[in-house]
Amino acid sequence: MTDTAIVHRASTNDAGRSRAQAEVAATGSAALTQLTAIAADQWQDLSERAIEPNGYYLPDWELAVNASAPDRTGVSALAAWDDPAQTRLTGLLPVVPLSRVFNIPLPALVSAHPYGTLCTPLLDRDGAEQALADMMQAARRAEARALILREVSLEGDAMAVVTKVSQEQELRPRLLQSHCRASLDATRGADALLREALGAKKLKELRRQRHRLDELGTVSFEVARSREEVAAAIEVFLDLEACGWKGRRGTALIQVPGDAAFIRRATAALAAKGQCEIVTLRSGESPLAAGIVLRHQNRAFFFKIGVDERFAKFSPGVQLTLELTRHLCADPKIASADSTASPNHPMINPIWRDRFAVGDMLIPLRRNDPVVGLIHAALRLRQTALVVARRGMRSLRGRRS
């Protein structure tokens, strides 16, 4: 049950918010908190205490998404505090109604998609179980019968809390789908890791390509860290992304004003806190490839990459990823990196050989609730229909080509 929420573009941000607010109201908004009503400093403090990192639910990222990204605005949240005065935020999960995400008119809340492919909730490590229990109770007060966590880490500390709290409440979560994607063990030495992953022959070929690039102009690897550096580097990234296949399909970030506004705002704000870098590979003055990397606690998140396809025979995306691997492995603050890529990604899977398990979980909010069975069946039917539709599209494209 992967995210397919981007089906149409909202005509204006205000219209999107109004629609989202009406949908939330229909689900029982009194128990939900508008995302923009949560104090950013409390949210930031919680992210530093979170039991498991998620760079896509950092406040500067998710608030930027919520402000302008089409079909992702007007988000609410399940939130937990450690006292009635709400002085310390202990849990947070941005959510939207099931009807908004999948057009299924049943009473459930779904984790809001933050543009990145991870929706693991933020839970205070000093009170994670109570925070999750409070958030589930808030969902019940909102008249939801189930909570659906999309693309949540399946083997991390947050899921262990979900499992324990569900068992204590005699609830039976259901796994809707799961897959593994590439991740990096950054505690290892980069040279040994790359030799093991790619082998001597492939590395030799990549070095040959790198020497050919050097003949065109000295190859350099740049890391933009400060707010000012990132603000300049994001424009290079946006141009590179738009000149490739995403630009031809009309899905590059810069081609949608709301998306461009979100990424510019998010990357600059996160860079000011040391939570975003933009890495760029150049030949002389010409940028060949650029990537956006988020940092949360001891984990990095490789968000997107853009390449100049005119240099495709030199593998600029792979060359950038090799440099990024060396960069992350040399950083003692980073223990792992999530590629946030699709399963079996042809570029990064052969390089980052560790795997990060993610999936979608359906969490009932009442014991033996028949409505949860209806929700589950509707989701499975929808997924089957999507699979059939995708096969049809691939067949049609094959015939046309």
Report the pLDDT value the prediction gives residue 30, as an integer from 0 to 100: 56
Closest of 367, 376, 380, 377 to residue 140, by C-alpha: 367
Place of tokens 């806190």: 273
Burial 138-163 (b: 16+ CB within 10 A, else e): bbeebebbbbbbbbbbbebbbbebbe
> Per mean pLDDT, which range of 29-33, 133-137, 350-354, 367-371 is the poorest?
29-33
For residue range 215-225, list pLDDT tens digits in order. Answer: 999 999 999 99
For residue range 224-259, list pLDDT tens digits in order. Answer: 999 999 999 999 999 999 998 899 999 999 999 999
Segment 35-56 shows an average pLDDT of 97
Burial class (CB in 10 A: 0-12, 13-18, 19+), 94: buried
If pLDDT is split at 50, 70 and 90, which confidence band does 16 have?
A: very low
Burial class (CB in 10 A: 0-12, 13-18, 19+), 240: buried
Segment 65-84 shows an average pLDDT of 96
If pLDDT is split at 50, 70 and 90, which confidence band does 289 have?
A: very high
User: In whole angstroms, how far apart are CA 333 and each of 50, 74, 221?
Assistant: 16, 34, 20
- The tokens for 355 are 């795997």
> Per mean pLDDT, which range of 40-49, 197-206, 384-393 is the poorest?
384-393
Q: Is 180 helix (H, G, I), strand (E, B) or coil?
A: strand
> Per mean pLDDT, which range of 83-87, 280-284, 322-326 is the poorest?
83-87
Report the pLDDT value the prediction gives residue 384, as an integer from 0 to 100: 87
Question: Residue 129: which H helix or E strand, with range?
Answer: helix 128-141
For residue range 144-197, list pLDDT tens digits in order. Answer: 999 999 999 999 999 999 999 999 999 999 999 999 999 999 999 999 999 999
Q: Return the HEC string of 2-45.
A: CCCCCCCCCCCHHHHHHHHHHHHHHHCHHHCEEHHHCCHHHHHH
For residue range 290-328, list pLDDT tens digits in order. Answer: 999 999 999 999 999 999 999 999 999 999 999 999 999
Give Cβ neighbours of residue 184 (< 8 Å, ≥ 6 apart): 193, 300, 325, 328, 329, 336, 337, 339, 352, 354
Report the pLDDT value the prediction gives residue 25, as an integer from 0 to 100: 41
pLDDT, the chain, mean: 91
Report the pLDDT value the prediction gives residue 401, as an integer from 0 to 100: 60
pLDDT at 371 over 60: yes
For residue range 87-116, list pLDDT tens digits in order. Answer: 999 999 999 999 999 999 999 999 999 999
Report the pLDDT value the prediction gives residue 397, as an integer from 0 to 100: 63
**Partners of 111 in the β-ladder:** 95
| DSSP code of residue 124 | B
**Percent share of the chain, pLDDT over 70:** 91
- The tokens for 13 are 């941000």
